[in-house]
Amino acid sequence: MATRKQVAELAGVSEAVVSYVLHNKPIVKEATRLKVLEAIQQLGYRPNMMARGLKMKQSRQIAVLVGSLGNPFEAGVLLHVEQTAQRHGYAVFFHSYSEQSEEELKELLHGRVDGIMLLGQSLREDTIQHFLSTGTPIFSLMAPALHHQDVGSLDLDWSKAMIKLAAHLKERGHQRVALMTHGSLRHYASSRANAFQAAAEAEGLICSDEMTLFGGGTFEHASAAMAEELKKYDQGAALPYTAIVAVNDLMALGILSACRKMGVNVPVQLAVAGCEGILMSGETSPPLTTLLYPREELGSRGTALFIGMISGDSTIKPPDGELDAELMVRGSV
């Protein structure tokens, strides 16, 4: 059995450099890295950490599966994913995800990537098993709608965040609050929706299932759904609630747009809140009251966590625990 020292001698480097290569440290030049890998292969060297599954031909690439390219919140997260990955010597590429194309995904990503990151959406159980069994770990930024014990994740502490929002609504005198969610249970929106319903109950607000609207996650769908709703209730004059919370900001902006077009005064006739704090949420009239999801922290901390897992590099240790959101009170509630 070869030793690390023999590998170092054959490659003409120090033992420390061999160690860097094994831990995928980006400080090693590519030419040196290749020399070390050749020596490892030639001597058949297998350090203990190999048990975790070091692949000799690592791609140093991560695939990020994106549900919605057009959502500025997600785009903002991706920026930080990419910067963090780069800092650790990994390249990132993006692939859009839809339930219809999971078979295709298996083929596309096979043997190409060291890991797969999801943006909160779910993969089918057999797809998850396929990737895990071929040695490709999966990590979800934002909790996946369908939890899976072998898929790691990082998300906001939604219970805590939604309590802040529900308490604010109560303080402003609201008792009956509607909820706009995505409509697909596989979407990360569902964990936010559940958290809001629980928070509303805890604060003594009424937020029943009949007061749930489905906005498909986008501005356009949300705007159309709200317009439909307002038509049903005599242009909003007889709405059975005084406030509505959308589980992403794009949908909240769609609601604002529908209200403006139908002459419904926000916040007098209807208060509106979102929960991400995208840039444009401060530019509407009125500006949106929302939670500020720390997307930089989500992207950078989640990516560092995942790369630590993939590379077995125990020095990559971002702080533990879920993320915290600040309530931004603006004009709409």
Structure tokens that stand for 228 in this block: 């439909």
- Examine residue 108 and tell whether it contacts a copy of itself (CB under 8 A): yes
Q: Smallest distance from the beta carbon of 246 to a copy of itself, in angstroms?
A: 14
Which segment (7-15, 101-109, 131-139, 181-189) binds a copy of itself by CB under 8 A?
A: 101-109
Q: Smallest distance from the beta carbon of 112 to a copy of itself, in angstroms?
A: 8
Grouping H, G, I as helix, E, B as strand and the rest as coil, residue 246 is strand
Structure tokens that stand for 150 in this block: 């072998």
Residues 6 or more apart in contact with residue 46 via CB below 8 angstroms = 1
Which helix (H) or strand (E) segment holds residue 214: the answer is strand 212-214
Q: Smallest distance from the beta carbon of 123 to a copy of itself, in angstroms?
A: 17
CA dist., res. 141 & res. 188, Å (int): 10
Tokens 């802040």 locate to: 164
Interface residue with a copy of itself, options 133, 149, 285, 315 (CB under 8 A): 285
- Examine residue 91 and tell whether it contacts a copy of itself (CB under 8 A): yes
How many CA atoms, within 13 angstroms, populate the side-chain half-sphere of residue 64? 25
Q: Smallest distance from the beta carbon of 46 to a copy of itself, in angstroms?
A: 27
Interface residue with a copy of itself, options 125, 201, 283, 326 (CB under 8 A): 283
How many CA atoms, within 13 angstroms, populate the side-chain half-sphere of residue 199? 24
Number of residues that bind a copy of itself (CB under 8 A): 31
In angstroms, how far is the first alpha carbon of the chain from the final one? 69
Q: Smallest distance from the beta carbon of 133 to a copy of itself, in angstroms?
A: 22
Q: Say how far residue 307 (Cα) sits from the centre of its chain.
A: 16
- Examine residue 220 and tell whether it contacts a copy of itself (CB under 8 A): yes
Interface residue with a copy of itself, options 58, 61, 159, 269 (CB under 8 A): 61
Q: Smallest distance from the beta carbon of 109 to a copy of itself, in angstroms?
A: 10
Which helix (H) or strand (E) segment holds residue 4: the answer is helix 4-11
List residues near a copy of itself by CB under 8 A: 61, 63, 69-70, 72, 75-76, 78-79, 82, 86, 91-96, 101, 104, 108, 219-220, 253, 256-257, 279-280, 282-285
